[in-house]
């Protein structure tokens, strides 16, 4: 049985993700207490033809975070195919969304402001986030979120999933990365007016950066780091690791480096490549 748990911050898009699972044929339950999950699984194994479960778990059920982690680990040890998806967004974005919908936060009241409620929720859910594949929905609309979740669901995970993500520092640092590498010290093709219109997936940029010794040294150093530490994460039963590669605008250097790293890791790990500023997400 395939089980997908969806959690995350209020206002981050959990209902959109759960509706997508429902559209894909999952039997979905919103706001299920974690202690009821084993019974729900057993019921469907014994009494129905349901093979895919989508469960929303969040602060409304006042779940015990430690208990949730133990339940997830136990189910995985029992051989269940269980994945955890955690959605989040910048606090300013979440506050704007609550203002637009005129809904109240589950923790808000006379004693806490909306911002304080969001901060408490983020801290409270952080242990569950460590078990999950994280998506930052700050710059996504509902359609983009559905597409991103659908691409993630396509992966048949048999080991560690490595997400390589390029981004531009001028647009903000992704909050969901485990490791972050800064490419802003490398030669920048942006200052060549003939190269400026291209991006790191185009041959002119690739040729330019391939000829820069510092770029190749940086790629070699990051590769050495990953070769040393990714196997250790696999041993520790990590399901996902996200590696952020940033440059100023997220168009040239970071995109090129991500593509080169993906080539080196291909065949060793399951890969998902994101180029945030190019709006590109692809399996490798």
pLDDT digits (tens, 9 = 90+) for 212-248: 999 999 999 999 999 999 988 877 767 789 999 999 9
- Angstrom distances, CA of residue 249 to CA of 31, 253, 257: 39, 9, 14
When pLDDT is averaged across residues 131-146 and rounded to a whole number, the result is: 89
Collapsing DSSP to helix, strand or coil, 241 comes out as: strand
Task: Name the percent of the chain lying above pLDDT 90.
Answer: 49
CA–CA dist 146, 112 (Å, integer): 32
Look at the alpha carbons of 168, 172, 178, 181 in this order and tell me if their dihedral is positive or negative. positive
When pLDDT is averaged across residues 161-178 and rounded to a whole number, the result is: 90
Contact 89, 9 (CB under 8 A): yes
Full set of structural domains in the chain with CATH: 2-154 (3.40.50.300), 161-275 (no CATH)
Sheet of 270-275: strand order equals 179-182, 240-247, 161-168, 270-275, 280-283
pLDDT at residue 283 tops 60: no
Q: Give the N- to C-terminal CA distance of the chain in Å, as an integer.
A: 26
Identify the residue whose tokens are 């460590």.
130
Residues contributing to the annotated binding site for GTP? 58-61
Residue 101 binned pLDDT confidence (cut-offs 50, 70, 90): confident
Q: Which of 169, 209, 172, 167 is nearest to 188 (CA)?
A: 209
When pLDDT is averaged across residues 258-275 and rounded to a whole number, the result is: 92
Residue 19, pLDDT score: 94
pTM over 0.75? The answer is no
CA–CA dist 14, 85 (Å, integer): 9
Residue 157, pLDDT score: 59
Residues contributing to the annotated binding site? 8-15, 58-61
When pLDDT is averaged across residues 186-205 and rounded to a whole number, the result is: 96
Identify the residue whose tokens are 């910048």.
90
Residue 237, pLDDT score: 63
Residue 97, pLDDT score: 93
pLDDT at residue 163 tops 70: yes
Residue 56 β-bridge partners: 6
Q: What is the mean pLDDT of the chain?
A: 88
Residue 75 binned pLDDT confidence (cut-offs 50, 70, 90): confident
Residue 103, pLDDT score: 85
Residue 104 binned pLDDT confidence (cut-offs 50, 70, 90): confident
Residue 249 binned pLDDT confidence (cut-offs 50, 70, 90): very high
Residues contributing to the annotated binding site for ATP? 8-15
How is residue 6 written in tokens? 């969806």
- State the angle between helix axes of 203-210 and 253-265 in degrees (0 to 180), rounded to the nearest 10: 80
Residue 66, pLDDT score: 65
How is residue 270 written in tokens? 């399951």
When pLDDT is averaged across residues 139-149 and rounded to a whole number, the result is: 89
pLDDT at residue 110 tops 70: no
* pLDDT (tens digit per residue) in 18-72: 999 999 999 999 988 878 888 888 888 887 788 899 999 877 766 666 677 778 8
When pLDDT is averaged across residues 157-178 and rounded to a whole number, the result is: 86
What size, in residues, is the chain?
284
Residue 50, pLDDT score: 86
């Amino acid at each position: 049985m395939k089980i997908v748990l969806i959690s995350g911050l209020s206002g981050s898009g959990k209902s959109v993700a759960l509706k997508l699972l429902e559209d894909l044929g999952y039997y979905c339950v919103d706001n299920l207490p974690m202690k009821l999950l084993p019974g729900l699984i057993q019921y469907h194994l014994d009494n129905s033809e349901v093979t895919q479960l989508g469960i929303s778990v969040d602060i409304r059920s006042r779940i015990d975070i430690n208990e949730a982690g133990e339940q997830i680990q136990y189910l995985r040890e029992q051989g269940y195919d269980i994945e955890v998806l955690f959605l989040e967004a910048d606090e300013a974005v979440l506050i704007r969304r609550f203002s637009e919908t005129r809904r109240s936060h589950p923790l808000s009241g006379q004693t806490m402001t909306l911002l304080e409620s969001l901060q408490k929720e983020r801290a409270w859910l952080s242990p569950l986030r460590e078990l999950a594949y994280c998506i930052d929905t700050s710059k996504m609309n509902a359609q983009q979120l559905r597409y991103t979740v659908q691409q993630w669901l396509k992966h048949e995970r048999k080991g560690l999933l490595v997400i390589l993500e390029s981004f531009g520092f001028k647009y903000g640092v992704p909050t969901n990365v485990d490791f972050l590498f800064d490419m802003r010290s490398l030669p920048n093709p942006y200052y060549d007016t003939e190269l400026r219109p291209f991006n790191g997936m185009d041959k002119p940029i690739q040729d330019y950066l391939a000829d820069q010794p510092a770029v190749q040294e940086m790629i070699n150093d990051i590769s050495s780091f990953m070769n040393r530490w990714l196997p250790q994460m696999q041993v520790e039963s990590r399901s996902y690791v996200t590696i952020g590669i940033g440059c100023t605008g997220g168009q040239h250097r970071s995109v090129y480096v991500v593509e080169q790293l993906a080539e080196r890791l291909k065949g060793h790990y399951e890969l998902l490549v994101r180029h945030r500023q190019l709006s590109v997400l692809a399996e490798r």
